[in-house]
A and B are shown apart, each in its own frame.
Chain A
Amino acid sequence: MDTVTAFTILCLLIVEARIIPDNYSKERRALLDEETLTAVGGKQHLNEDETIANDILMKWKMNELNESYINPQHFNFSKHYFSYKKDIEKSKVYQIIKRMPKGAVLHVHSSLMLSADVLVKLTYEDHLYACYSHDDVRLYFSETTPDRPCPTKWDLVSELRNSSGDPAAFDSQLKKYFTLDKDDGEDYNFVDINTVWKRFDKVYFAIKSLISYRPVREKYWYETLQQFYDDNIMYIEIRSGLQSLYELDGTKHNKKYLLDLYKKVTEKFIETHPDFIGVKLIITKHRAQSIDQVLEALNMARRLKVEEPDMIAGFDLVGQEDIGRPLTDFLPALSEAKGDINFYLHAGETAWLGTSADENLVDAILLGSKRIGHGYALTKHPSLMSAVMKKDIALEVNVISNVVLSLVHDVRNHPLASYLAMGAPVVLSSDDPGAWSAEPLSHDFFVAFMGVASKHADLRMLKQLALNSITYSALDDEGKARLLKVFNERWDRFVRDVITDVSLLDTNVV
């Protein structure tokens, strides 16, 4: 062998040493492909137009994420939602998601769906009295000063507003009672879960006192439907305890009245928005109530299910899970009702492992819950996780809610990342968007897509999540088919919009 050949061989060897061998690359590719295929949306196929739209979406996603990867001190999603909420609108990815049809919202509490700004507008209705006590407000509509307890005194809101000298300032003060986001720079990372829930309950009671008045509730509900519709949502399942509404003269309606009101207003809404599919109710009771009270609510739900089978989806228990009663307390009643009504139970909305709230997951599964509300703790329970996969029980995940209600700080640590990776039956929802003035669903989709999901997650995941919300809804087959048809039409239009939108063309021109 002459020296030249030897030298050539040596060079080849060196070069070879710097190249990744084929079998390694293949094995690596296989593992990564397996993960991509397993993940939510992994089996979706994109058509030609969708592929182009996806390229545009991913170009912006990479652009925005790479920026944060290089400057993690600016990475929004590692901070509290309130600190970056205002910046969301600037994101091109968000603008695309906002326009995207998202199917249905399946986990949302009926009184906390509308943002504080709109609620303030509702306080312009006539005859509204307010009772302010140190950090609380109660509202009541009445022809004369309400004959109800008030630690201070009842005043007409219109008079207070007029005599304040600055109605705008008055309204912005009033607004603070309707939202957890006080915009006062407080670092919510230091607020513990019980304190947050106390504030949350306070917001709930303030809003409830405003919308218990029948005419306002009608407006509230119409406006809510409009906002959800504008956020590209075509069907909603609301959780409601069916409170009794009242009239100006003090007449009180029964609980069923509110169900009829939801039905009536929704039908009116559909008249002008014919592609909106409708609303169903999941009847709820607070889990801190007595066993008898829960039983009573459960029986009401069963009765209503018989009377209004199309309006009633099922039954659930609500309220802070850690300190409320565990599902086991209500077992006999729930077991017995199982055949009459479907369950959509909150379970595992907790950061604690091995506590009763955590074990609610066991009962939700054993009771045959159709979906599980939150299921935040599920990743820590491998056998329950596999039961959920096997029984195809959908998980209603509400990322922003879990941040605001103090379960997680940096959303990248949210268990949704694992659920998405495993291809679990996930639906994204927003829980109480009104309580923190979030968009009906787009903010949750955005944070999940950018902050929680893999960097590689793309339009296929978004589409799958939207489709999941149809698949796992309480609609019957015919209803699902109608919803799917509406969704597909809107989806095609959305895709065409994205690929023809000049403002999305160049990432360099911002």
Chain B
Amino acid sequence: MRSVILAVLPILFIHAKCDDKYHEKRKQLVELELRMALGGNSTLNDKENIVNNCLMQHKFNELDYGFDNPDHYNLSHHFFNYRKQIQKSKVYKIIQSMPKGAVLHVHDMAIIGPDYFVNLTYMDHLYVCFGKPIKFWFSYTVPNTTCDGDWKLMKDVRKAAANVTQFDADLRKHFTLVCDNPDVVYPSIKETWDTFMGYFTSVFGLLSFRPNWEQYFYDALKLFRADNIMYVEVRSILPNLYELDGTVYDKIITAKAYRKAINKFLKDYPDFLGAKLIFAPSRKVDAKVLDSYIQTARHIKRDMPDLYAGFDLVGQEDLGNPLIEFVPQLLQAKDLNFFFHAGETNWFGTLTDENLVDAVLLGAKRIGHGYALAKHPALMREVIKKDIGIEVNVLSNAVLSLVKDVRNHPLNIFLSLDLPVVLSSDDPGAWEADPLSDDFYVAFVGVASRLADLRMLKGLALNSLKYSALKAEHKVRAIREFNSRWNDFVNHFDCKSY
């Protein structure tokens, strides 16, 4: 008997040893991956650990419910179907009250939601044309711009409506992409972008009316601040502002209006760090028009150096001109600081896809979207080497038909590789999302690893300042200010209040 035991023991021992070694190796691999990921290398202090425990407990609850009931897993469906339910999430509430740093990729005409525009339609001297899409114009007299219907005074039209509440509700639909049955209304990227472009046409006349413009951006900054954002870089085509008497100003005046609104806001809310402008005109232009844009950018940079952050080209990338067509001109304009949209596409190997190459070679400081980047190992390497920020907008990519189930969004690859990612919201007003919290929530719960925690959230917030266009000394100040707000958030955190 004894000899049998003696003979068996070493075998067991060897097995146990193998097993231990396996588990050790396994643990190392899993931990290595978590450490490599964005935020994975930072450590949390005791207070942060308390926040993290609360956050993760709620995150696991929400995710495990989705895992067990995939038919009820909201984030695999269209944002419009779960938009309102997000607000019940405790993870969301924590994220909302958390300081998130800066928003670095947002288009000015789509920040505030549809109700704001409905209110604007109550202003005097507003004309409306019920074409496709609906258009508005402020004027003393009937506007002489073309429209596929008749220009009528808004006031008269509303007065003639049988039911004003219904009238306003119908009107509101023109200022949002949100609908009840998105999968039917938007079967492909074409329908989405058609509606999205229509949105911009519709709000254009309401916003580029000079008095509205200044007030609008002031109100937009208020929204950002309320969502715990302390700094914004806004992309603008700089629409030519107009007056009731038909006066139209040049783009420099629009930039000045920005400066005025920002200064006023900073005076009223001194805890806000500020806002800068990325001049981002349409990419669907010829070389001559681009020259004039470059001139305008130089002009603003020279006259308003504190306002000016950089230059970009916008519009549906698949349909606009690829960057390669503008390379000769853009190479001469590298002093403008580029923040190019690139690779906002799921067409692999097309000109749109290759915009990524040019964005990298033209020395872009950040890349807008970079959705296609995961398919380009060499470019990914360059992005890391050159430390180019990637502005990721998950909800935008979902709403604008690049991806349905956000778990397939390439952001999860970027996060696991610790790419220089900043989260942003692109056009939150157009789909009635928060200035940033909804995007943070969906990225954190829907895209990132189940195990990603507060360290990733903090890392993302810090990235938004690190990759901002702030001057070095301002950046240091911004990060210091962020840390102090972060400490406030952590010190006053009470799990029970969520």
| Residues of chain A at the chain B interface (Cβ within 8 Å) | 17-21, 24, 27-28, 31-32, 34-35, 38, 69, 71-73, 75, 78, 187, 189-190, 192-195, 322, 331-332, 335-336, 351-355, 359, 362-363, 365-366, 379-384, 407-410, 412-413, 417-418, 421-422, 452-457
- Please state if B450 and A355 are interface contacts (CB–CB under 8 Å): yes
Cβ contacts under 8 Å, A194 to chain B: 70-71
Q: Residue of A at shortest CB range from B194?
A: A73
Some 14 contacts from A to B, beta carbons below 8 A apart, are: A17-B328, A28-B361, A31-B360, A189-B183, A351-B407, A353-B449, A354-B449, A381-B416, A409-B405, A409-B408, A412-B347, A422-B377, A453-B348, A454-B375
Kindly list 10 other residue pairs between chains A and B, CB separation below 8 angstroms, not including A362-B30, A379-B374. Answer: A17-B328, A21-B331, A73-B189, A73-B191, A351-B407, A383-B36, A413-B402, A452-B348, A455-B348, A455-B350
Cβ contacts under 8 Å, A410 to chain B: 346, 402-404
- Please state if A28 and B357 are interface contacts (CB–CB under 8 Å): yes
Cβ contacts under 8 Å, B374 to chain A: 379, 417-418
**Ranked 5 nearest A-B pairs via Cβ:** A354-B450, A455-B349, A454-B349, A354-B449, A412-B346
Interface positions of B from 315 to 354, Cβ below 8 Å from A: 318, 324, 327-329, 331-332, 346-350, 353-354
- Please state if A351 and B405 are interface contacts (CB–CB under 8 Å): yes
Cβ contacts under 8 Å, B347 to chain A: 69, 412, 455
- Please state if B328 and A187 are interface contacts (CB–CB under 8 Å): no
Question: Which of B21-29, B101-109, B149-157, B219-227 makes up part of the contact surface?
Answer: B21-29
- Please state if B450 and A192 are interface contacts (CB–CB under 8 Å): no
Indicate if B376 sits at the interface (CB-CB under 8 A): yes
Interface positions of B from 52 to 97, Cβ below 8 Å from A: 67, 70-71, 73, 76
Cβ contacts under 8 Å, A78 to chain B: 188-189, 346
Cβ contacts under 8 Å, B328 to chain A: 17-21
Bound together, the chains give a CA A193 to CA B71 distance in angstroms of 8
Q: Residue of B at shortest CB range from A421?
A: B375
- Please state if A381 and B33 are interface contacts (CB–CB under 8 Å): yes
Known: A18-B328, A382-B417. A352 touches B407 (CB 8 A): yes
Cβ contacts under 8 Å, A355 to chain B: 67, 450
In the assembled complex, how far is the CB of residue A30 from the closest CB belonging to chain B, in whole angstroms? 9
In the assembled complex, how far is the CB of residue A397 from the closest CB belonging to chain B, in whole angstroms? 15
Q: Residue of B at shortest CB range from A16?
A: B328
In the assembled complex, how far is the CB of residue A236 from the closest CB belonging to chain B, in whole angstroms? 30
Known: A410-B346, A412-B347. A366 touches B25 (CB 8 A): yes
Known: A24-B361, A354-B451. A17 touches B329 (CB 8 A): yes
In the assembled complex, how far is the CB of residue A214 from the closest CB belonging to chain B, in whole angstroms? 39
In the assembled complex, how far is the CB of residue B419 from the closest CB belonging to chain A, in whole angstroms? 10
- Please state if A418 and B318 are interface contacts (CB–CB under 8 Å): no
| Residues of chain B at the chain A interface (Cβ within 8 Å) | 15, 18-19, 22, 25-26, 29-30, 32-33, 36, 67, 70-71, 73, 76, 183, 187-191, 287, 318, 324, 327-329, 331-332, 346-350, 353-354, 357-358, 360-361, 374-379, 382, 402-405, 407-409, 412-413, 416-417, 447-452
Known: A380-B412, A382-B416. A17 touches B332 (CB 8 A): yes
- Please state if A457 and B349 are interface contacts (CB–CB under 8 Å): yes
Known: A331-B19, A418-B413, A454-B348. A363 touches B450 (CB 8 A): no
Bound together, the chains give a CA A335 to CA B16 distance in angstroms of 11
- Please state if B348 and A412 are interface contacts (CB–CB under 8 Å): yes
Cβ contacts under 8 Å, A351 to chain B: 76, 405, 407-408
Looking at chain A's contact residues, is the secondary structure mostly helix, strand, loop, or mixed? helix
In the assembled complex, how far is the CB of residue B402 from the closest CB belonging to chain A, in whole angstroms? 8
- Please state if B26 and A362 are interface contacts (CB–CB under 8 Å): yes
Cβ contacts under 8 Å, A336 to chain B: 15
Which residue of B26, B67, B287, B318 contacts A18 across the interface (Cβ within 8 Å)? B287
- Please state if B379 and A382 are interface contacts (CB–CB under 8 Å): no
- Please state if B183 and A20 are interface contacts (CB–CB under 8 Å): no
- Please state if A72 and B190 are interface contacts (CB–CB under 8 Å): yes
In the assembled complex, how far is the CB of residue A424 from the closest CB belonging to chain B, in whole angstroms? 10
In the assembled complex, how far is the CB of residue A21 from the closest CB belonging to chain B, in whole angstroms? 7
In the assembled complex, how far is the CB of residue B487 from the closest CB belonging to chain A, in whole angstroms? 28
- Please state if A332 and B19 are interface contacts (CB–CB under 8 Å): yes
- Please state if A24 and B416 are interface contacts (CB–CB under 8 Å): no
In the assembled complex, how far is the CB of residue B22 from the closest CB belonging to chain A, in whole angstroms? 6
Known: A354-B452, A380-B416, A413-B346. A421 touches B376 (CB 8 A): yes
Bound together, the chains give a CA A354 to CA B70 distance in angstroms of 16
In the assembled complex, how far is the CB of residue B280 from the closest CB belonging to chain A, in whole angstroms? 22
Which residue of B29, B349, B354, B450 contacts A353 across the interface (Cβ within 8 Å)? B450
Q: Residue of B at shortest CB range from A193?
A: B70
- Please state if A192 and B361 are interface contacts (CB–CB under 8 Å): no
Cβ contacts under 8 Å, B76 to chain A: 192, 351
Bound together, the chains give a CA A454 to CA B449 distance in angstroms of 27
- Please state if A352 and B346 are interface contacts (CB–CB under 8 Å): no
Bound together, the chains give a CA A185 to CA B245 distance in angstroms of 56
Known: A351-B407, A351-B408. A72 touches B25 (CB 8 A): no
In the assembled complex, how far is the CB of residue B343 from the closest CB belonging to chain A, in whole angstroms? 12
In the assembled complex, how far is the CB of residue A75 from the closest CB belonging to chain B, in whole angstroms? 7
Cβ contacts under 8 Å, A335 to chain B: 18-19, 22
- Please state if A352 and B405 are interface contacts (CB–CB under 8 Å): no
Bound together, the chains give a CA A413 to CA B412 distance in angstroms of 12
Known: A354-B450, A366-B25, A366-B26. A31 touches B382 (CB 8 A): yes
- Please state if A418 and B375 are interface contacts (CB–CB under 8 Å): yes
Bound together, the chains give a CA A196 to CA B379 distance in angstroms of 37
Bound together, the chains give a CA A27 to CA B327 distance in angstroms of 13
Bound together, the chains give a CA A18 to CA B290 distance in angstroms of 12
Q: Residue of B at shortest CB range from A456?
A: B349
Cβ contacts under 8 Å, A407 to chain B: 408
Cβ contacts under 8 Å, B357 to chain A: 28, 31-32
Cβ contacts under 8 Å, A187 to chain B: 183
Q: Residue of B at shortest CB range from A359?
A: B30
Cβ contacts under 8 Å, B403 to chain A: 410, 413
Bound together, the chains give a CA A189 to CA B26 distance in angstroms of 36
Bound together, the chains give a CA A353 to CA B413 distance in angstroms of 10
In the assembled complex, how far is the CB of residue A206 from the closest CB belonging to chain B, in whole angstroms? 23
Bound together, the chains give a CA A199 to CA B133 distance in angstroms of 44
